[in-house]
Amino acid sequence: MKELKIEYKTKTVRLVFGRGVFTNSLFPEGRKYLVLTDENVARLHGDKFKKISRFVKVLPPGEGSKTLDAASSLVSFLLEEGFTKDDCLVACGGGMITDLGGFVASVYKRGMGFISVPTTLLAQADSALGGKNGVNFASGEKTFKNQIGTIYQPELVAADPLFLKTLPPEEFRSGLGEVLKCGLCFSPSLFARLRDGFDENDIFECLSIKAEITAQDEFEEGARALLNYGHTLGHALESLSGFRLRHGEAVALGLLHETEEQSIKEKIRELLEKYSFPEFRFDKRELAAYIRQDKKIRQGKIRLPVLKDIGMTELLETDFDAYLQRLL
């Protein structure tokens, strides 16, 4: 087992990583637990969750469940069952479940206990750590990703690679998109190793990198924005596809299109082909409508991570309309 203790301004987060770290000992008696998961994960691992608590809520899988209505329903359940601020919501699933669970935990009684148990590669390598959470929001005919949310740290993140043994190939590939981002932006050795294949210890390297960055900048006032490389375009592609593109798949395409250096671009393209990432054709005008809702846009400017070289990323503030014209 490997362990990190991450000192944020708001909370100290314990992270445990390794095969078999998910055990009942992580959930001591004396408080009530609500286990939140989705139908796919419950079908495979539901018996484990029932040993934690008799309170288990199972949602349909996919981004369609990450809504204010779903959050409201969970708050109603917590109230009806008498959960207090000292009790705990345990999110067991992929990024959708950990995002939604973290959001509900952050707003219920202004903050209840929260434990994140990521079961997908994407959640284990990235989204379960750092405190970002949220729900999608529909406006007119469009649904915009993560437009409502908070930053709220879990008390514990338990990343157990044994959960990945049941992961469908497309979900594993999606997680590789975030691993690829981490190597491309922060670790040349990780990026190089991905040409030969993926090792589960790469997950802990990604977590260690993200822990260091987010501990320095919990609320994304500076360096944490470097973690957004590929995400401006990626989130827009994800939404434009109606979430047919998985998050990591969309981010991987974002990495490709946001990278300007042709030699690096070709290396990214080779990795996307190696791991069978899907292509996605899009109308530039339609895509622009989603990009304009990006949370990083302020007073006509957008602050973006710019890749200078593999493992070297810098923040640059630029005029948003000029960025949009150059990108599209």
- H, E, C per residue of 125-144: HHHCCCCECCEEEEECCEEE
Domain 174-327, CATH: 1.20.1090.10
125-165 per-position pLDDT tens digit: 999 999 999 999 999 989 999 999 999 999 999 999 999 99
Per-residue pLDDT averaged across 263-290, rounded?
A: 95
40-69 per-position pLDDT tens digit: 999 999 999 999 999 999 999 999 999 999
| Domain definitions of the chain by residue range | 2-167, 174-327
Right CATH for 2-167 from 3.30.1360.40, 3.40.50.1970, 3.40.190.10, 3.90.550.10: 3.40.50.1970
189-212 per-position pLDDT tens digit: 999 999 999 999 999 999 999 999
Task: Kindly indicate the confidence band of residue 220, based on its pLDDT and cuts at 50, 70 and 90.
Answer: very high
Q: Please give the backbone phi and psi of residue 290, each rounded to the nearest 5 degrees, phi first.
A: -80, -40
20-45 per-position pLDDT tens digit: 999 999 999 999 999 999 999 999 99
pTM as predicted: 0.94
Lookup: tokens for 324: 């949009």
Lookup: tokens for 114: 């929260």
Residue length, the chain? 328
The region that residue 216 occupies, defined by phi over 0 for left and psi between -120 and 50 for alpha, beta otherwise, is alpha
The pLDDT score that the predictor gives to residue 327 is 74
Going from the C-alpha of 93 to that of each of 40, 140, 282, 325, the distances in angstroms are 9, 29, 30, 38
Task: Kindly indicate the confidence band of residue 3, based on its pLDDT and cuts at 50, 70 and 90.
Answer: very high
Going from the C-alpha of 41 to that of each of 57, 59, 141, 167, the distances in angstroms are 12, 10, 30, 9
